[in-house]
Each structure stands twice: as structure tokens, then as C-alpha cells.
Structure 1
Amino acid sequence: MVIIRGVITLLVIGLWLYCVLDVITTEPARIRNMPKLLWLLVVILLPTAGSLLWLIAGRPRLPKGYTTYTDQAVPPREPRRLSPDDDEEFLRKLRERAEEQRRSAREKADPESPDAPKPEPAPDE
């Protein structure tokens, strides 16, 4: 029981610190419903309730798909390719290499084929 109470206390302190720092670093023009100083007082004087109120009613909302609170919001980036199957350049090179290996295997198997290189005659001495 003591461990659970300690964990809950640490979570509440972490939430409170996060909200205090978030209020301080948020631009005043973007804060909703109350002035910045008043939000800071609410969060500091009512740690749990003030933090939850800040997250629900005071924190600025982001436009859908954006990931920053700056005035020049950055649109989401193109997702990184996580597998080689998503990389067209890699697949093209892979196909070229496979075709070259097939050609080489055909030449070794059938030296009389029309696309096999002709061996140069040995010079007469």
C-alpha cells in the first residue's frame, strides 16, 4: 500500500512539474480561457486540479496533424521508410543485380548461347 501511494505521489508531482513548465513556456497569445499569470497561479496553488484544468482548458490546441506549438507549425513529415520493400531505388538496384546474376549463370551453363562472350583465340607463337 505504501508503494502504491508513493508511486501515485510521484506521478502527481511529475504532472504538476510538467504543467508548471508548460504554462511558463507557452506563448501568452496561445493560452486559452485565462491570462498566463492566472493559469500559473491556478496550477501552483491547486497542484492536481490546476494541472488537470490546464491540460483540459488552458493548453493551446494544435491544428490537426501538426506537432509543435510555434507560430509556424510544422506539417507532418513524410514517414520514413522502415523496410527495403518501400524503397523504389533499392528495389530497382536489386532487380538489376538479379538480372546480372541470371545472365552470368546462363553464360556459365551454356557457353554456346548467342549472348555468351566468345573467348579470344590464343596468340600463335
Structure 2
Amino acid sequence: MARVLIVGAFLAVIFWVYSIVDVAVQPAGRHRGVSKGVWVLIVVLLPVIGGILWFWIGRRRRGERESDYLTAPDDDPAALRRMSTAEQDARIRQLEEELARLDDESDGADPRS
């Protein structure tokens, strides 16, 4: 039984060190959720659980782009480059009308409710 615990602890330490190194060497754009420094803290302070969270949630895969998760279509530079100026102007007008309509709806609302 003691051998199993020693081997398990040894494997946990190896996984922990590998997780810390993996977080540290990843470029800043390959992190999901929080910043690189916070991920290092999570992995260091929560040895096995932090490493599992890093590989499951925090690490962005090679084919994934940051814009897949964080950028709205109107903020995506590639999408804006594909749109013509007339399409961009029409989209801006549509969004301004939508915002004005929402402002008009909220003006009549009771602020206490």
C-alpha cells in the first residue's frame, strides 16, 4: 500500500511540475479566462486540481483563436475588412436606431421597480 501511495505522490508531483512549466511557456494569447499570472497561481496553489483546470479550461488549443471566444462579430477586424463601407454604415445606423429605441423604452420605466 505504501508503494502505491509513493508512486501516486510521485506522479502527482510530476504532473504538477509539468502543468506549471506548460502554463509558463505558453504565449499570452493561448490562455482562456484569466491572465497568465493568475493561471500560474492557480496551478501552484492547487497542485493537481489546478493542473487539471489548466488543461481542461485554461489552455487554448492550436486551432482556436481568441476572437472565437472574446470578439463580437462587429469587433472582429477580419469581418470588418470583408464588409464594404456602405455595409458598415448601414450596420452602424441599425445599431444606433436599436440603441435609441432601447433608450426610449427605458425612459418611461419606474426606477424604483
TM-score, normalisation: structure 2: 0.54
Matched, 1:52 2:52: yes
In the other structure, the counterpart of 1:38 is 38
Which ranges of structure 1 fall in alignment gaps of 5 or more residues? 65-125
Matches within 5 A, 1:1-125: 1-63=1-63
Q: Distance in 1 between matches of 2:30 and 2:55?
A: 13
Partners of 2:14 and 2:58 in 1: how far apart?
18
Distance (Å, rounded) in 2 between the aligned partners of 1:30 and 1:24: 11
Determine the structure 1 residue equivalent to 2:67: none
Partner Cα distance (1:30, 1:55) in 2 = 12
Choose between structure 1 and 2: higher helix proportion.
2
How far off is 1:60 after superposition?
Answer: 1.7
Structure 1, residues 71-112: CA drift from partner, whole Å, max 9, x if none? xxxxxxxxxxxxxxxxxxxxxxxxxxxxxxxxxxxxxxxxxx
Q: Distance in 2 between matches of 1:30 and 1:44?
A: 19
Find the structure with the greater CA-based Rg. Answer: 1
Deviation of 1:62 after TM superposition, in Å, equals: 2.2
1:103 corresponds to which residue? none
> Structure 2: which 5+ residue stretches go unaligned?
65-113
Question: Which one has more relative contact order, counting CA pairs under 8 Å at least 6 apart?
Answer: 2
| Counterpart residue identity of residue 8, structure 1 | G
Distance across 1 between alignment mates of 2:24 and 2:62:
18
Deviation of 1:56 (Å): 0.3
- Identical positions, percent: 34
Runs of 4+ in 1 over 3 A off after TM superposition: none
